[in-house]
Amino acid sequence: MTVSTDYTAQEIIVVAGAKVLENNKIVFVGTGLPMVATLLAIHTHAPGLIPVFEAGAVGPPLKHGLPTSVGDSKTFTGASYLKGLNSAFELTQRGFADFGFIGGAEVDMYGNLNSTMMGDYPEGYLKPKVRLPGSGGASDMAASCDRTILIVPHDKKKFNEKLSYMTSPGHLDGSPDARYKAGMQGKGPYRLITTKGIFDFEEKTKRMRLISIFPGETVESIQAATGFELLIADNVTQFAAPTAEEVRMIREEVDPLGIFVKRAAK
């Protein structure tokens, strides 16, 4: 297959995100790139993937294209079940969601995410340096989906030992059974996809571990862009560059308007 020569950082995230999704599973899809990756997965290897959106739609075929919102009309048409936010989160809390797929602005080594604020916390909570949109449904997905897939653009300023604010709990402090002891359900972060590679969370320590490297990166370059020490899997793989066909699908079929996957400046 022809390898793409002009894919963007967002496009490789979308391709990697799609590949992590498993056919015939229920995935609770957050807004943004998770929606794009979900649609690409449905168009490629996972036609039986069942997306759930927090505004209420369960299992829509998404035949009318990429939703602009998780409450978009495109998520309602053909859905197998459609009520409101309470029902979507209740079924997640009950255990119906195999995966939650969410993004964040800042992540720590245990896969805890921040999408609330940057700055001094708690003193600066009500007057933050940078105010982010807020949890939305991300913290609910983090607390109650069986496993979560995270997307965070890789940047030393965003991969920190200590988060400004923990919006969506991951493996907390990494201690044994930390999630269970906090009252949560689900196994927590399963994969993290960044602009540089794919990570899992090592079973014992729950620490972020590099498992696959995107083209052009090395273990060293990725570590250098991370504000804490990464674990490195024994058998780190090289992630194949997106194919020309995958990139064509993203640009022409999945997100032709560039709603979430921004076009590279010419």
Partner 1 sequence: MEKDAKMFWTGLSPDEAREALVNKDKSMRDKRMTLKEAVSEFVNAGDNVGIGGFVNVRQPIAIIHEIIRKGFKDLILSFHSAGMAPELLAGAMMVRPDHCSIKRIELAYWGHEGFGLSQAWRYLAERGMIEFEDWSNYNMSARFKAGAMGLPFIPTRGPLGGDICNTSRTKVIDCPFTGRPIGLLPASNPNVGLIHVQAADMYGNCIIRGTDATCAEIAMASAHTIVTCEQLVSHELLVTNPKDIMIPFPAVDAVVKVPFGAYPGACRRHYYFNSDHILEFLGLIAPICKGGSSDALKAWYDEFIFGVESFEDYIDKFQTKKLFADQAAESYNCERLA
Interface with partner 1 by CB under 8 A: which residues? 31-32, 54-57, 64, 68-74, 76-77, 82-87, 89, 93, 112, 116-117, 121-122, 125-140, 142-144, 165-169, 172, 179-185, 259-260
Q: Which is nearer to partner 1, 150 or 241 (CB)?
A: 150
Q: Of residues 11, 54, 106, 217, which has the active-site annotation?
A: 54
Phi-psi region of 34 (alpha: psi -120 to 50; beta: other; left: phi over 0): alpha
| Smallest separation (angstroms) from partner 1 to the CB of 161 | 16
**Tokens 């794009």 -> residue:** 36
Would you call 246 a catalytic residue per the annotation? Answer: no
Q: Which is nearer to partner 1, 10 or 212 (CB)?
A: 10
Task: Calculate the alpha carbon distances from 195 to 3, 99, 156 in Å.
Answer: 18, 21, 12
| Smallest separation (angstroms) from partner 1 to the CB of 241 | 27
Q: Is 249 helix (H, G, I), strand (E, B) or coil?
A: helix
| Smallest separation (angstroms) from partner 1 to the CB of 51 | 14
Spatial contact of 57 and 79, defined as CB atoms under 8 Å apart: yes
Q: Which is nearer to partner 1, 4 or 144 (CB)?
A: 144
Other C-beta atoms closer than 10 Å to the C-beta of 20 total 17
Paired tokens of 265: 């400046």
* Catalytic site positions: 54
